[in-house]
């Protein structure tokens, strides 16, 4: 069905939700239908009833589908929401995102004008609870803020990604991945279930590319991103960069398999994970000595955080061991499935 399903996944998000929902209630909806899907991800702060109460106070501007997901983790909540979405386009709105009232209208016009586009990225601006830290502009992308491309339009860079906050994508892509291809996201399946290092949005972007869709960015698609004061510090950045390091090995595997047709260990005489680990440890040691006498000042953050990302990557390789090469096996299997699926679509269209 033509329209947008707006997805909000929340865990104990009561503090943020009233403001976020008030912005969603004010979206312009003249050209299409909307639904709001809120997934309460096992909250214990009364989020479920609070969402109903707040949405009713706004006089239910469009239908609310309020769901619960007992499995902890945003990925599980997202799966429930994406499967429940009834419209052809899905918008991801985190519980700390405040969408501009023209957001859906601009997205609608972009999709109508660019039928090959599968995912659209938007422009986030920070809304600080306290003072903006002096280092923020250098790391704003970590907080899903700023431009996602040099200019608005189709994204040609194969290494570019689009973050989840404010992402718009076609429901057909999710249905193809989840139902036709029956692919489980590696960033969820191969990790410790208690971890949440992010990266699922990047994995969605990579598979969308494999399916042959274009990516698009438009800085007219705006949202504000609330920046809690307790996240504006080096310790939070270190945690995020360790998570990015863990995600990186999976995303690099996607990019390798996209551009190659043979396994990366073909010419090695010992396990692939040991080879990768050896080089990453060399990089880590160099950075360790480089950073040893550096203080935790903003001008040193780049090198300090590069080290944290390497630690995250090394820890993930050590955890996977021989399972690391299995990542490539699974991705080549997915690549073949997608080729068969695309061939079938071409045959059907030619009849």
> What share of the chain has pLDDT > 90, as a percent?
80
Q: pLDDT by residue (tens digit) across 122-170?
A: 999 999 999 999 999 999 999 999 999 999 999 988 888 899 999 999 9
Q: Residues 115, 208: one domain?
A: yes
Q: Residues 116, 257: one domain?
A: no
Taking residue 279's Cβ as centre, other Cβ atoms within 10 Å add up to: 9
Q: Residues 117, 159: one domain?
A: yes
Q: Residues 28, 133: one domain?
A: yes
180, 205, 229 — which closes off a domain?
Answer: 229
Handedness of CA 99, 100, 105, 111 (dihedral sign): negative
DSSP secondary structure string for all residues of 77-99: HHHHHHHH--SSEEEE--TTEEE
Name the strand (E) or helix (H) holding 67. strand 64-68
178, 194, 229 — which closes off a domain?
Answer: 229
Tell me what pLDDT residue 342 has: 87
Report how far residue 103's alpha carbon sits from residue 221's, in angstroms, rounded to the nearest whole number: 5
Q: pLDDT by residue (tens digit) across 84-133?
A: 999 999 999 999 999 999 999 999 999 999 999 999 999 999 999 999 99
Does pLDDT of 172 surpass 60? Answer: yes
For the chain, what is the domain count?
2
Q: Is 42 inside any structural domain?
A: yes
């Amino acid at each position: 069905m033509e329209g947008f399903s707006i997805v909000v996944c929340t865990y104990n998000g009561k503090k943020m939700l009233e403001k976020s929902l008030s912005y969603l209630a004010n979206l312009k909806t003249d050209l299409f239908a909307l639904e709001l899907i809120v997934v309460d991800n096992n909250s214990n702060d009364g989020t479920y009833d609070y969402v109903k109460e707040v949405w009713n106070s706004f006089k239910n501007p469009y239908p609310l589908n309020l769901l619960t997901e007992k499995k902890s983790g945003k990925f599980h909540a997202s799966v429930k929401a994406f499967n429940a979405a009834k419209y052809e386009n899905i918008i991801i709105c985190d519980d700390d995102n405040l969408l501009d009232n023209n957001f859906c209208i601009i997205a609608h016009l972009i999709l109508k004008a660019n039928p090959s586009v599968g995912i659209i990225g938007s422009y986030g601006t920070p809304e600080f609870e306290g003072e903006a830290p002096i280092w923020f502009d250098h790391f704003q992308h970590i907080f899903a803020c700023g431009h996602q491309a040099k200019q608005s339009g189709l994204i040609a860079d194969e290494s570019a990604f689009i973050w989840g906050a404010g992402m718009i994508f076609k429901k057909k892509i999710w249905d193809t991945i989840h139902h036709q291809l029956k692919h489980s996201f590696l960033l969820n399946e191969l990790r410790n279930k208690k971890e949440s290092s992010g990266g699922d949005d990047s994995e969605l972007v990579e598979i969308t590319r494999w399916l042959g869709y274009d990516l698009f960015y438009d800085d007219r698609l705006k949202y504000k991103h609330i920046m809690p004061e307790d996240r504006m510090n080096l310790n939070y950045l270190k945690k995020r960069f360790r998570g990015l390091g863990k995600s990186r090995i999976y995303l690099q595997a996607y990019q390798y398999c996209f551009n190659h047709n043979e396994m990366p260990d073909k010419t090695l005489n010992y396990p692939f994970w040991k080879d990768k680990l050896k080089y990453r440890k060399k990089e880590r040691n160099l950075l360790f000595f480089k950073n040893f006498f550096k203080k935790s000042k903003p001008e040193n953050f780049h090198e300090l955080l590069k080290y944290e990302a390497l630690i995250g990557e090394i820890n993930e390789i050590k955890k996977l061991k021989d399972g690391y090469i299995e990542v490539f096996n699974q991705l080549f299997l997915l690549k073949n499935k997608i080729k068969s699926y695309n061939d079938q679509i071409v045959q059907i269209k030619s009849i």
